[in-house]
Chains A and B, each alone.
Chain A
Amino acid sequence: MHQGDKIAPSKRDSQPRVSGALVYRQSLWTRATHWIWAICLFFLLLSGLQIFNARPNLYIGKQSGFAFDNSVLSMTAVNTPGGRRGVTTILGHEFDTTGVFGVSGTAEKPQVRGFPAALTIPSYRDLATGRVIHFFFAWLLVVTLFVWFTASLVNGHLCRDLRPTRGDLARLPQDIADHARFRFHHTGRYNVLQKLSYGIVFFVLFPVIVLTGLTMSPGLDAAWPWLLDLFGGRQTARTIHFVVMTLLVLFFLVHITMVLAAGPINELRSMVTGWYRTDPESNDGPAQ
């Protein structure tokens, strides 16, 4: 089955509003794995913040500095005459984050914790459960990535849809300009910014977040000691894990914004049913 090859006649051709053909753009593999990732990343993020809260500090190096300072981020609570204040320190710069980071909850019942209850699973402090949930969805994510990669290699999704061509790269400045103006071209194929951002997510962010997660495992460190050298020690790996998480959240926000701006019904339909309505001028799918 080749995406983009199947074209169904538009049901709306007779209607006054002109729209292009429906093309089959997303294979079942792509759609199924996409939604499993959505669920995985939701639970991984919120259970990960629960785990982070057990030690709301990030360090650079092989160990955490207690008698020396190698901290790059901390979320703490300090006592002031006016009550508890939340203080977040990033690379030596202090920010008052009362109510959000360090101290959250209500004024009557302030809670000392890194991330607030609304951002952690479970909502209360429970590292054991956070870990149980995190590792379950970590396995699910890795298995789904493997399934997606194999299927995409076999059905051509990787080479046909995700690999940027020379023509794509030449169109990059134009594509950036179009996106900046929220002007979208609905074709059977991904545009170059999509290809690049999906490529970075799949071939940089996902592998790095999985490998840095494994570097935090004392068992895997014994099996694969090169992990420690690759990421500069267990604590640096933990910091990179957190940074990549932030980048994935950023990707998610941009992704949702783009779906909303490009027409959420059409975009969602293609990710649910596989069928995507193209612009009238590009009935043949790939406008290349």
Chain B
Amino acid sequence: MNKPILTRRQLIRLGALGASSVVLSGCDAFDLLGNRSSSVRDIVAKANDVTYYVQRFLIGDALAREYPESEIRQPQKPNGSTNPQTPEYLALKAADFSDYRLSVSGLVETPKSYSLSELRNMPSRTQITRHDCVEGWSCIAKWTGTPLSVVLDEVKLRPSARYIVFHCYDSLGSGRAGPAFYYESCDLADARHPQTILAYGLNDQVLPVSNGAPIRVRIERQLGYKQPKYIRAIEAVSTFEDIGRGRGGYWEDRGYEWYAGI
């Protein structure tokens, strides 16, 4: 009988050698997964769709936990853009937001725009909730604002509306086509959720610029990047195709998942 070219023992040794070289060479072996247009990444990212559907099924209308006053132990940590420098925003800020108008348009029956005092005179909700940053930290604060559902009921969504998009005044950098303004979006389940508010108050004070004045959104069952600040306009849409790079948000366009419930 011929001697086998590769014995079982050699095969195992070879396998172990191969496996250890992958580990020892560092993990740049898997850097291809960072490529946003890689098809492997697309497959791996499908797990986020599973998370979305499973969480939607499990959560239903459940509220995010609300905390007692005693848990407000520090100011809300400002993060991301904290002082927008775009001319429109600087002009609004100089006039203490007296000229501010929040426009609500898109797939709605009656487009409207609201001044700050109009928003403050609408029904309001105050909640002490935990802000969870995608980086891993948390901070508890009291938020006061107009429930988004109140606004949506006034403008009446058309049946074709599937998502609510929030357009912002701040940009975290610029692209070839000028500044890339921050934007975010949510589905109607989150938009109509009782804790989803257009916040104008933080810890019993007027919302400061570092935390998103004059209006920021709170979507309490998702991570911090789903809480856009410096809101300029609200738009009801049926798809994200024509907005930004088409993935439904500033960070989503840069590889983060659209559903940030985890």
> A residues touching B (Cβ–Cβ < 8 Å)?
43, 46, 51-52, 54-55, 57, 59, 62-68, 117-124, 126-129, 131-133, 135-136, 138-139, 214, 216-225, 228, 234-235, 238, 264-265, 268
- B45 CB within 8 Å of chain A: yes
Which residues does chain A contribute within 8 Å of B256, judged by CB atoms? 127-128, 131
Q: Which of B24-61 contact A (CB under 8 A)?
A: 26-28, 30-31, 33-34, 41, 44-48, 50-51, 55, 58-60
Q: With A128-B254, A136-B47 in contact, do A218 and B134 touch (Cβ < 8 Å)?
A: no
Shortest Cβ gap from B100 to chain A (Å): 29
Q: How far is the CB of A116 from chain B (nearest CB, A)?
A: 9
Q: How far is the CA of A268 from the CA of B136 in the complex (A)?
A: 39
Most interface-central of A118, A128, A214 (chain B CB within 10 A): A128
Interface residues of B (CB under 8 A from A): 9, 12, 26-28, 30-31, 33-34, 41, 44-48, 50-51, 55, 58-60, 62-65, 67, 71, 73-75, 77, 130, 132-140, 220-223, 251, 254-257, 261-262
**What are 16 contact pairs spanning A and B, CB under 8 A?**
A46-B30, A52-B136, A62-B67, A63-B71, A64-B77, A66-B77, A67-B75, A127-B134, A132-B44, A217-B261, A218-B132, A218-B220, A219-B59, A219-B261, A220-B262, A264-B12
**Chain A residues, CB < 8 A from B28:** 117, 122-123
* B residues less than 8 Å from A46 (CB atoms): 27, 30
Known: A51-B136, A67-B73. 13 other contacts (CB 8 A): A46-B30, A64-B77, A66-B77, A121-B31, A127-B135, A128-B254, A135-B47, A218-B223, A220-B59, A222-B63, A222-B221, A223-B59, A225-B65
For the complex, would chain A's binding face be called helix, strand, loop or mixed by DSSP majority?
Answer: helix
Chain A residue numbers with a CB within 8 Å of B9 are 265
Which of B26, B41, B46, B138 meets A118, CB within 8 Å? B26
Given known A-B contacts A66-B77, A132-B33, A139 and B27 have beta carbons under 8 A apart: no
Question: B209 to nearest A CB, angstroms?
Answer: 18
B31 and A123: CB pair below 8 A? yes
Residues of B within 8 A of A221 (CB): 64-65, 221
The answer on a CB contact under 8 Å between A55 and B33 is no
Q: Which residues of B contact A268 (CB under 8 A)?
A: 12
B58 engages A220 (CB within 8 Å): yes
Given contacts A123-B27, A219-B222, A265-B12, contact A129 B139 (CB under 8 A): no
Instruction: Indicate if the CB atoms of B62 and A133 lie closer than 8 Å.
Output: no
Closest B residue to A235 using CB positions: B138
A126→B34 contact, CB < 8 A: yes
**Nearest chain A CB to B172 CB, angstrom units:** 14
B-chain residues with CB within 8 Å of residue A220 when the two chains form the complex: 55, 58-59, 261-262
Give the residues in chain B near A138, CB-CB below 8 Å: 47
Q: Which of B64, B71, B137, B140 contacts A57 (CB 8 A)?
A: B137
Contact A63–B140 (Cβ < 8 Å) = yes
A146 CB to closest chain B CB, in angstroms?
13
User: Are the C-beta atoms of B74 and A54 separated by less than 8 Å?
Assistant: no
Q: How far is the CB of B41 from chain A (nearest CB, A)?
A: 7
State A215–B50 Cα separation when bound (angstroms).
18
User: Cβ of B51 and Cβ of A135 under 8 Å apart?
Assistant: yes
Contacting residues, chain B, for A264 (C-beta < 8 A) = 12
Residues of chain B within 8 A (CB-CB) of A51 are 136
State A131–B135 Cα separation when bound (angstroms). 10
B31 pairs with A122, CB closer than 8 A: yes
10 tightest CB-CB pairs across the interface, nearest first? A219-B261, A67-B74, A55-B136, A128-B255, A217-B262, A118-B26, A64-B137, A136-B47, A54-B135, A55-B135
